[in-house]
Amino acid sequence: MKALHFGAGNIGRGFIGKLLADAGVELVFADVNQAVLDALNARHEYPVHVVGEQAKVETVRNVSAVNSTSDEIIDLIAEVDLLTTAVGPQILERIAASVAKGLIKRHEEGNARPLNIIACENMVRGTSQLKQHVLKALPEQYHSWLEANIGFVDSAVDRIVPPSAADSSDPLEVTVETFSEWIVDKTQFVGEPPAIAGMELTDNLMAFVERKLFTLNTGHAITAYLGQQAGHQTIRDAILDGQIRAVVQGAMEESGAVLIKRYGFDAEKHAAYIQKILSRFENPYLKDDVERVGRQPLRKLSAGDRLIKPTLGTLEYQLPHDNLVKGIAAALHYRSDQDPQAQELATLLEKQGVQATLAQISGLDAQSEVVSAAVKAYNATA
Ligand SMILES: NC(=O)C1=CN([C@@H]2O[C@H](COP(=O)(O)OP(=O)(O)OC[C@H]3O[C@@H](n4cnc5c(N)ncnc54)[C@H](O)[C@@H]3O)[C@@H](O)[C@H]2O)C=CC1
Ligand SMILES: O=P(O)(O)OC[C@H]1O[C@](O)(CO)[C@@H](O)[C@@H]1O
- Predicted ipTM? 0.96
Q: Answer yes or no: do 311 and 347 share one domain.
A: yes
- In degrees, rounded to 5, the angle at the alpha carbon of residue 47 between the alpha carbons of residues 8 and 12 is 20
Q: Whose CA is nearest to atom 16 of ligand 2?
A: 217
8 A C-beta contact, residue 116 and residue 191: yes
How much distance in Å is there from the Cα of 145 to the middle of ligand 2? 35
Question: Final residue of a domain: which of 203, 223, 252?
Answer: 203
Same domain, 184 and 239: no
**Ligand 2 and 86: CB distance under 6 A:** no
Q: Which of 178, 203, 228 is the last residue of a domain?
A: 203
Same domain, 245 and 339: yes
Residue 20 · residue 13 · CB < 8 Å: no
Banded model confidence at residue 126, pLDDT cuts 50, 70, 90: very high
pLDDT at 167: 63
For residue 65, the ligand closest to its alpha carbon is: 1
pTM recorded for the entire structure = 0.93
Q: 84-98, 158-172, 209-223, 311-325: which has the minimum mean pLDDT?
A: 158-172
Q: Detail the residues annotated as belonging to a binding site.
A: 3-14
- Is there a single domain that holds both residue 125 and residue 226? no
314 lines ligand 2 (CB under 6 A): no
Q: Could you tell me which of 22, 9, 23 has the C-alpha nearest to residue 193?
A: 23
Q: Which atom of ligand 1 is nearest to the CA of 160?
A: 3
Predicted confidence (pLDDT) per residue in 44-83, tens digit: 999 999 998 888 999 999 999 999 999 999 999 999 999 9
Residues 194 and 292 in one domain: no
Q: Which domain holds residue 23?
A: 2-203
Q: Which residues contact 183 (CB under 8 A, 6 or more apart)?
A: 155, 156, 200, 201, 202, 205, 208, 209
Answer yes or no: do 101 and 191 share one domain.
yes
Q: Same domain for 257 and 345?
A: yes
The pLDDT of residue 168 is above 80:
no
Q: Quick: pLDDT tens for 318-359.
A: 999 999 999 999 999 999 999 999 999 999 999 999 999 999
Do 181 and 239 share a structural domain?
Answer: no
Alpha carbon distances (Å) from 138 to 82, 94, 105, 153, 380: 19, 14, 12, 18, 50
The CATH code of the domain that includes 364 is 1.10.1040.10
Q: Is the CB of 130 under 6 A from ligand 1?
A: no
User: What residues contact 161, with CB distance under 8 A and at least 6 apart?
Assistant: 10, 11, 14, 15, 174, 175, 176, 177
pLDDT digits 0-9 by tens, 240-287? 999 999 999 999 999 999 999 999 999 999 999 999 999 999 999 999
Query: To test ligand 2's pocket by mutation, which of 13, 121, 122, 212 has the most ligand atoms within 8 angstroms of CB?
Result: 122
Over residues 25-33, mean pLDDT: 98
Select from 88, 326, 136 the least CA-distant residue to 222.
326
* Sequence ranges of the binding site for NAD(+): 3-14
| 188 shares its domain with 220 | no
Is 59 in the same domain as 131? Answer: yes
The pLDDT score that the predictor gives to residue 315 is 97
Does the pLDDT at position 381 exceed 90? no
Give buried/exposed letters for 189-225 (b at 16+ CB in 10 A, else e).
bbeebbebeebeebeebebbbbbbbbbbbbbbbbbbb
Of 29, 28, 30, the residue nearest 2 (C-alpha): 28
- Please, are residues 107 and 142 in contact by the beta-carbon 8 Å criterion? yes
Residue nearest to atom 1 of ligand 2 (CA): 122
Helical H segments across the chain, by residue range: 10-11, 17-22, 34-43, 72-79, 92-108, 126-137, 143-149, 205-211, 218-229, 235-239, 242-263, 267-281, 290-293, 297-300, 308-316, 322-332, 340-362, 369-380
CA of 285 to the centre of ligand 1 (A): 21
Query: 138 and 19 share a domain?
Result: yes
**Backbone phi, psi, residue 76, to 5°:** -65, -40
Percent above pLDDT 70 for the chain: 99
Q: 370 with 355: CB under 8 angstroms? A: no
Q: What is the mean pLDDT of the chain?
A: 97
| Mean pLDDT, residues 3-16 | 98
CATH number of the domain encompassing residue 53: 3.40.50.720
pLDDT at 166 over 80: no
Same domain, 266 and 129: no
pLDDT band at 213 (very low <50, low <70, confident <90, very high): very high
Q: Could you give the 3-state DSSP secondary structure of residue 200?
A: strand
